[in-house]
Amino acid sequence: MEFDDFKEFLDFLNHNKKDNENSIVNLLYFIDWCNNNNHEELLVRLSSEKQSGLGYNSVIDFTTKRIIITRNKLINRIFELGFVAGLGPFPYMILSKKKQQSKIKDSAKLKIEKILQDENLEFTISYIDVQKIVIKRGSNSVVRNMFGSFITKNYLTIFTKANNKYEYVLSIKKNGEFNKMFYWMKSILPVEISLID
């Protein structure tokens, strides 16, 4: 989606007097609008790592239509910072008070078609094929030091209706605050999201 298309959505919100303080409602309108206008857009992006550092890492993209798993390129493993609470650029702008005047930098634009053609694409899962997603707080990865104690990893498992199970370790540094990440996923993704503390 180009920024002009996004402005069309903002006009839709304003014209229908749907631009309100309820951010979840506006995000759900955005998802419906994308589906009705044949736009597949990124909602949430999470970074996972099976091994720390330069080991096997992947990106889990939750779009308006599916989940896309891509193996992370070496350069991205080092320099990629991740998104605020995992939210994609357009959903983040919808939450922004200055969204009408904002512009998305070219570096932040993500085209789903390009992701699907990436040589590092591993697989995709349609939401229809997902039974549930379980997110677990990494209580087994607590680090204690002079600044207190904190969790270094969380876990995400995707269960499919075909009895497949995909497990991922979520980096704390790249995926932001756990509660916010869980809140947005549970609120806007069209699948069952469960939490295990």
The pairing of strands 130-136 and 193-196 is parallel
> How does pLDDT run across 12-62, given as a tens digit for each residue?
877 765 555 678 888 999 999 999 999 999 999 998 887 555 556 889 999
User: 89-148: per-residue pLDDT in tens?
Assistant: 888 888 876 555 455 555 456 789 999 999 999 999 999 999 999 999 876 655 566 655
Question: CA–CA separation, 55 vs 71, rounded Å?
Answer: 11
Q: Residue 189: give its domain's CATH number.
A: 2.30.29.30
Contact predicate 88/43, CB 8 Å? yes
181: nearest Cα among 193, 190, 192: 193
pTM of the model: 0.84
- Does the pLDDT at position 80 exceed 70? no
173-188 pLDDT, tens digit each: 777 788 888 999 999 9
**Residue 52 pLDDT:** 53
Distance of alpha carbon 66 from alpha carbon 153, whole angstroms: 24
Cα 196 from chain centroid (whole Å): 19
Which pLDDT score, from 0 to 100, does residue 31 have?
95
Q: Is the per-residue pLDDT at 168 higher than 70?
A: yes
- Domain membership of residue 158 as a residue range: 3-196
Specify the higher pLDDT residue, 3 or 169: 169
Number of domains in the chain: 1
Residue 99 three-state SS: coil
Q: How far apart are CA 117 and CA 197, in angstroms?
A: 36
Angle of the 3-15 helix axis to the 23-36 helix axis, nearest 10: 120
Tokens 């992701």 -> residue: 115
User: Which H helix or E strand runs over 168?
Assistant: strand 165-171
- In this structure, the strands spanning 148-151 and 193-196 are unpaired
Q: What is the CA radius of gyration of the chain?
A: 17
Residue 2, pLDDT score: 76
